[in-house]
Chains A and B, each alone.
Chain A
Amino acid sequence: MRIRKFLVVLLLLLSGPAVLLLFSQLSGDVSPLRQVRDRFPVFADVAVDPESNIVAVTDENLFSLRTYDRDLVSNDVADPRTVITGNRTRVDFVCGVALDPVNKEIYTVNNDTAADMLVFKYDASGNVPASRTLRPAPVSTWGVALDLKNNELAVTIEQINKISIYRRLAEGEEKPLRVIQGPDTGLADPHGIFVDAENNEIFVANHDSYHQAEASQDESTDVQGQLARGIATLSVPQNRLQPRSSSGKFVEPSITVHSRTAQSNASPVRVIHGPKTELSLPMKVFVDTAHNELFVANSGNNSILVFSRTATSPEEHSAMVFRRTAQGNAAPLRIVRGAPDGTPAPGIGNPGGIAYDPMREQILVPN
Chain B
Amino acid sequence: MANPRIAIFARLANGNVAPARVIEGPHTRLSRTSHAIAYDEKNDEILIPNPLAEAILVYRGNASGDAAPIRTIQGPRTLLQENDELALDNVHDEIIVPTRQAILVFSRSANGNLAPLRVIAGPKTQMFRARGIAVDPVNNIIAVGNANPQGILIFNRTDEGDVAPRSIITGPRTGIYATKGFAVLPERKELIATVEARGVQVTRNLGESFVGIWNNTDNGDVPPKATIKGNTTMLIAPRGAALDSQHQEIFIIDKVQNAFFTYSWQKILQNMQR
List chain A positions with a Cβ less than 8 A from chain B: 24-40, 42-44, 60-61, 87, 90, 92-93, 95, 111, 113-114, 140, 158-159, 189, 207-211, 217, 220, 223-224, 227-232, 234-236, 240-250, 253, 280-281, 299-301, 314-315, 343-367
Contacts and interface: CB of A to CB of B under 8 A. Distances in A.
B11 A240 contact: no
Nearest to B202: A229
Nearest to B82: A220
A26 B1 contact: no
Interface residues of B, number: 118
Contact of B233 (A26, A31, A235, A363): A31
Contact of B31 (A189, A299, A301): A189
A347 B19 contact: yes
A244 B267 CA distance: 45
A236 B243 contact: no
A30 B267 contact: yes
Nearest to B250: A356
A219 to B, nearest CB: 11
Contact of A351 (B15, B80, B258): B258
B36 interface: yes
Interface string B188-223: 000000000011111110010010000000000000
- Residue among B52, B204, B243 with the most chain A CB within 10 A? B52
A227 B196 CA distance: 10
Contacts of B257: 37
Contact of A344 (B16, B78, B233): B16
Given A36-B260, A87-B204, A230-B200, A355 B242 contact: yes
A240 B76 contact: no
B230 A24 contact: yes
Given A32-B233, A362-B20, A349 B75 contact: no
Interface in B10-43: 10-20, 22, 25-26, 29-39, 41
Interface of B: 1-20, 22, 25-26, 29-39, 41, 44, 46, 48, 50-55, 61-62, 74-82, 84-85, 99-102, 104, 119, 121-123, 128-129, 147-148, 177-178, 180-181, 198-204, 207, 210, 226-234, 239-246, 249, 251-255, 257-264, 267-268, 270-271
B262 A37 contact: no
11 contacts: A29-B229, A32-B263, A223-B129, A236-B148, A243-B119, A245-B79, A248-B81, A353-B85, A355-B39, A358-B41, A367-B4
Contacts of B226: 28
Contacts of B234: 31-32, 35
B128 A367 contact: no
B198 to A, nearest CB: 4
B10 A365 contact: no
Contacts of A315: 1, 3
Contacts of B122: 240
B50 A26 contact: no
B233 A29 contact: yes
B262 A364 contact: no
B88 to A, nearest CB: 9
B253 A352 contact: yes
A364 B34 CA distance: 12
Contacts of B75: 246, 248
A36 B258 CA distance: 9
Contacts of A249: 53-54, 74
Given A235-B148, A280-B25, A348-B259, A29 B232 contact: yes
A230 B198 contact: yes
B170 to A, nearest CB: 13
Nearest to B53: A209
A338 to B, nearest CB: 11
A24 B50 CA distance: 40
Contacts of B147: 223, 227, 232, 234
B162 to A, nearest CB: 10
Nearest to A237: B128
Contacts of A364: 6-8, 37, 39, 46
Nearest to B30: A366
A180 to B, nearest CB: 18
Given A27-B271, A247-B76, A36 B15 contact: yes
